[in-house]
């Protein structure tokens, strides 16, 4: 059983969101589930539109479905695009992040279950391009009592790349696939996956730019980056 999710938390008035806010964009990552045991990792991906003051625009922020296929499709589209569960509220600045999804439903073994996700206790790094914190998902309707999934998450924004930035990946290959060793070797410390490594690899992975990155290697890079952050 793998359950995936994302959200945003902020009460009150939301200032006009801005496409010019540098924090606006797509973010990708995963959750290492701590409880209940045995669930493994959960994929995370979402689009956030952030106002100048840091409030997340709930009307235009949502879970991305293309890399988180276990999320249900929202009943309404955004700009003609199918999206996952939408954000309820949230805050995102260069130093703080929290979010909550709107409640949503999924089918599990023929039952309709209610779900809601909160990301909190967050640390924002790399001017907002890297976020870690606690993932909490509440599920009702599946068991007699509500079920809570708790884990630690990491989210990364892919670099906006001209090819000169590809120096963050240590590879002479113009084609083929990058190995985890080549991704590690591109940063300051060639023995670990740092932000520049995982962000650049994510760009190649998302855009299928040669040398490409497989889904297996991308997940390994994200997990190693998360462990690197924990060790700091």
Domain ranges of the chain: 25-156, 163-231
- pLDDT over 80 at 170, yes or no: no
pLDDT mean over 9-30:
62
The span from the first CA to the last CA of the chain, in angstroms, equals 31
Cβ atoms of 4 and 43 within 8 Å: the answer is yes
Lowest mean pLDDT among 58-67, 134-143, 161-170: 161-170
Q: Which CATH number fits domain 25-156: 1.10.10, 2.40.128, 3.40.50, 2.60.120?
A: 2.40.128
pLDDT tens column, 85-141: 999 999 999 999 999 999 999 988 888 999 999 999 999 988 888 999 999 999 999
pLDDT value of position 166: 47
Structure token digits, residue 144: 């007699």
pLDDT value of position 97: 97
pLDDT value of position 168: 55
Structure token digits, residue 24: 């606006």
Distance CA 87, CA 130 (A): 19
- pLDDT over 60 at 163, yes or no: no
To 5 degrees, how large is the angle CA 57–CA 18–CA 91?
A: 40
pLDDT mean over 150-177:
68
pLDDT value of position 152: 94
Structure token digits, residue 122: 């967050």
Distance CA 123, CA 154 (A): 10
Which of 105, 107, 29, 98 shows the shortest CA–CA distance to 61?
98
pLDDT mean over 154-183:
69
How many CA within 13 A on the CB side of residue 87? 30
- pLDDT over 90 at 8, yes or no: no
Cβ atoms of 117 and 5 within 8 Å: the answer is yes
Distance CA 36, CA 143 (A): 14
Burial class (CB in 10 A: 0-12, 13-18, 19+), 162: exposed
Residue 174 confidence class, pLDDT cut points 50, 70, 90: low
pLDDT value of position 66: 81
- pLDDT over 80 at 75, yes or no: yes
């Amino acid at each position: 059983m793998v359950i995936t999710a994302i959200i945003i938390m902020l009460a009150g008035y939301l200032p006009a969101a801005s496409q010019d806010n540098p924090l606006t964009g797509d973010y990708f990552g995963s959750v290492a589930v701590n409880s209940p045991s045995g669930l493994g990792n959960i994929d995370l991906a979402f689009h956030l539109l952030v106002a100048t003051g840091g409030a997340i625009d709930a009307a235009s922020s949502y879970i991305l479905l293309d890399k988180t296929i276990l999320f249900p499709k929202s009943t309404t589209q955004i700009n003609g695009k199918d999206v996952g569960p939408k954000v309820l509220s949230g805050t995102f600045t260069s130093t703080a992040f929290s979010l909550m999804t709107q409640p949503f439903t999924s089918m599990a073994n023929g039952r309709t279950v209610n779900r809601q996700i909160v990301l909190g206790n967050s640390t924002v790094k790399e001017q907002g391009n890297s976020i870690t914190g606690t993932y909490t998902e509440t599920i009702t309707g599946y068991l007699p009592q509500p079920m809570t999934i708790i884990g630690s998450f990491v989210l990364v924004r892919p670099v906006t790349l001209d090819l000169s930035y590809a120096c963050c990946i240590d590879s002479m290959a113009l084609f083929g696939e990058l190995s985890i060793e080549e991704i590690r070797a591109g940063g300051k410390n060639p023995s670990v996956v740092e932000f520049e490594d995982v962000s650049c690899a994510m760009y190649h992975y998302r855009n299928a730019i040669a040398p490409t990155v497989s889904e297996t290697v991308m997940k390994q890079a994200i997990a190693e980056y998360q462990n690197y952050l924990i060790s700091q």
